[in-house]
Amino acid sequence: MRETRRGFLAQTAVAAMMMGTNAIAAIAAGVEKPATAEGLKAKLLQCLGGAWAEPCDLKPVVRETVQKEGYRLELVTYEVESGDRVPAYVLVPDGVNANNPAPAVAVWHQHNGAYHFGKVEPAGLAGSVMHHTGVALAKEGYVAICPDALCFGERQNKKLKGGDYERWAFLRYVVAGKCMAWKNILDMRRAVDYLCVRAEVKKDRIGCYGHSMGSTDTWLVGPWEARLKALVGNCCLPTYGAIHRTMILHCFPNFVPGWFQYGDTPDIAGLIAPRRLHLNFGEKDGGSPIEEVREGVKTIAKAYEAAGAKEQFTYFIEEGVGHELTAEMWKRARECLGKSLRR
């Protein structure tokens, strides 16, 4: 009897979960979706939290400069909103200067629960060598910027630690009618602003790259930052459909309140068209279930085709690979950036 009751409760719980998922899908299905990319983008801005804050004076400061092998490493800060300064590492290749400017790449760091890392990992100062991508790009001749996202690196909180502060920050924006994605996009656009005031940077040759949460940041900022000519994301396109189906507790920046009425995360990425976009995926990446990824890239491809830029979107799924940056993935990332920014 006890086992029967336990089985009944388990089946009831699963049924309740599925009913909840179906109810959400029904609500989304009942909303009229915009017929054009412009209309969809307007709805996205509304869901994110509305108009962006007006650009403020960056008031840039160089806190430290260290000469490394093949590049100069600068620790800088700049203001993204009044009173809110973002620390970032800037890597400038040897020989690159105002008289000899170079293309630039903004590198958005991963999440991985590594709140103490942030910018230091892509800048090559800590973490996995696999993700020292800012250094790798600098050694290929790009100026690279690696900023701290909110809640990471120097943007942590002394009272609330790690995930507690991230949850608090997300909820603070939600009750204000915005979300963490809105804030991250704003901060990333300011990073591009900063690159554009650097004399060493070719203003019309700027791209971005990100792994994991950094990949999410890539397709989030893409629709709003036309100065990014090439965008590369590695291992992160978690659709809301997949999150609901597999009950993933994902990073807060993935969640845009109200967006599922109008589209899913691939629809956001599709708004980057017609600019160059490349996405890498691991077949066994539990954070981006491959079933939904395969459908998601079709959605993005359709958006690019509608924009008359079919060849500007590419993707790669590596078999047998999980949530990582493999040599083949990095090769494809480099090729995308190189062909778009070195022309």
Residue 220 identity (one-letter amino acid): L
Nearest partner of 183 among 171, 195, 196, 194, judged by Cα: 171
pLDDT of residue 1: 39
Based on the number of CB atoms within 10 Å of its own CB, is 27 exposed (0-12), middle (13-18) or buried (19 or more)? exposed
pLDDT of residue 8: 35
Give the 3-state secondary structure of residue 128: coil
Residues whose CB is less than 8 angstroms from the CB of residue 311 and which lie 6 or more positions away in sequence, other chains included: none
pLDDT digits (tens, 9 = 90+) for 175-207: 999 999 999 999 999 999 999 999 999 999 999
Beta strands across the sheet bearing 102-108? 61-68, 71-81, 84-93, 143-147, 102-108, 201-211, 228-234, 276-282, 313-318
Q: Which two tokens stand for residue 109?
A: 């760091």
pTM score of the predicted model: 0.91
- Which contacts qualify for 122-130: CB closer than 8 Å, 24 or more apart? 122/89, 122/146, 123/73, 123/89, 123/91, 125/89, 130/324, 130/325
pLDDT of residue 33: 85
Q: What is the Cα–Cα distance from 129 to 114, expressed in whole angstroms?
A: 15
**Beta partners for residue 65, in sequence order:** 74
pLDDT digits (tens, 9 = 90+) for 235-282: 999 999 999 999 999 999 999 999 999 999 999 999 999 999 999 999
Answer yes or no: is pLDDT of 302 > 70: yes
Nearest partner of 280 among 242, 239, 323, judged by Cα: 323
pLDDT digits (tens, 9 = 90+) for 16-29: 344 455 555 555 56
Query: Would you call the peptide bond into 274 cis, given omega within 30 degrees of 0 as the criterion?
Result: yes
pLDDT of residue 163: 95
Answer yes or no: is pLDDT of 133 > 90: yes
pLDDT digits (tens, 9 = 90+) for 29-44: 667 889 899 999 999 9
Pick among 3.40.190.10, 1.10.10.1590, 3.40.50.720, 3.40.50.1820: CATH of 35-341:
3.40.50.1820
